[in-house]
Each structure stands twice: as structure tokens, then as C-alpha cells.
A = this chain, B = another copy of it.
């Protein structure tokens, strides 16, 4: 059952136009579908892959969300990023064929699998695929720039507000509400991502609530005014 795959249908996937299939014609999409497979859905806290695993494939998040982590030399885990639907995972494996971090499902989640051995030749054959691949790679780098600005030298209050605004922006790009969403990760994962203690994150969310900028009910976040939240930074 582990390796059972399902039929892939990029042409009626709602994510297709933020994904690799964007800009391809019907025939090209068919070729792409032949190399893509689906693994069975992952359960919460199940690993998609682990640091130092051999990498046969890249993955695109189809549903749910993921967290990627690295272990440093001392064995301390750092949360590098969260991944929402449509995002490409595993690019760091292009260097040596090894995954340089682990990726873990935060909730029930599914991915499309792109075998590296077939992706590269196919992208040489289909120019639109190659350019879309480079486009997506570029967005990942651009996102990392944004993340650097988010995490850099800011007090905890700003990091927390920026974190919520980043999620808001990403959900909005996916067609979801930009002011109302559920956090798919616990406080200590947010803390690890923002390089803060979990108590500080909890307190900062509390302060944003006190100020009337957001409403918080456990994992549920409601941003009362995007503008006020932005200007609070």
C-alpha cells in the first residue's frame, strides 16, 4: 500500500496555474501527467522525507501543510519554513541528490511527486516546462529574501505581526481569506521559526489581541484590520 499511486489530473487541479503545468498546452500537460505520481496522503506529523535521505523526487504540496527543518551539528532542530499548497519542496536536493533537511506534515496532507530522473529530460523537451520550473525556483529564492526581512533584527512583537501578515498574504494568494485562517502549527513551531521562545510567541499574540488588532481562539486567527496590523509594525 505504501507505494500505491493514483491517477494524476493536472488539467483539473485548482492549483495548476501556480504550479508546473502553468502555460502548458493540453498535450504537454498530458506528458507531464505521465511522470507525476501521487503518494498516499500523509498523516499529521508524518515525515515526507528526512534529512540525508536519498532524493529521487521533488514534491509539490497538493493539500494540507508542511514544516521543513534542519538539524544543526549539535542536533538542535530549526524550523526553516512552512509549506502551503502549490509550493515546491526539495530543491536543496538538486545539489547532491540528498535532502538537506526534513519535511513533516502538520496535518493530513498530500503531495504530487516529480521524479528527478524524468523531470530534467522532459523540461529539455518542453520549453514551457523549463521556463516554468525556473520561474518557480525564482519564487522560492524571492520568498527566502522576504523571509530574511521577516526574521531579521526585529523585536518579538514585530516578528509575530509579520508572521501573521506573511500567512495572510500566502493564503490570499491561494484564494483563501486573508483575514481569517487557522494556524496549522503549534506555538512552539512558530517560536522555532521566529527564533523566539514559545512563551514569547504566546505573549505577543496576547498583546496583539489586547490591542484589538487580531482575535485569537487557539489556532484560529482573525485579523481585524490588515492595515492596522501592518501599521503596528
Contact = CB atoms under 8 A, between A and B. Distances in A.
Given A72-B152, A127-B124, A138 B95 contact: yes
Interface string A207-233: 000000000000000000000001001
A34 B123 CA distance: 23
Given A131-B120, A149-B70, A142 B78 contact: no
A208 B54 CA distance: 38
**Assembly of this chain: how many copies?**
2
B94 A148 contact: no
B141 A95 contact: yes
A152 to B, nearest CB: 4
A137 B91 contact: yes
A74 B134 contact: no
Nearest to A80: B148
Interface string A75-93: 0101010000000000111
A149 to B, nearest CB: 4
B134 A120 contact: yes
B100 A137 contact: no
A127 to B, nearest CB: 6
Interface of A: 70-74, 76, 78, 80, 91-96, 100-101, 120, 123-124, 127, 130-131, 134-135, 137-142, 144-146, 148-153, 192, 195-196, 230, 233
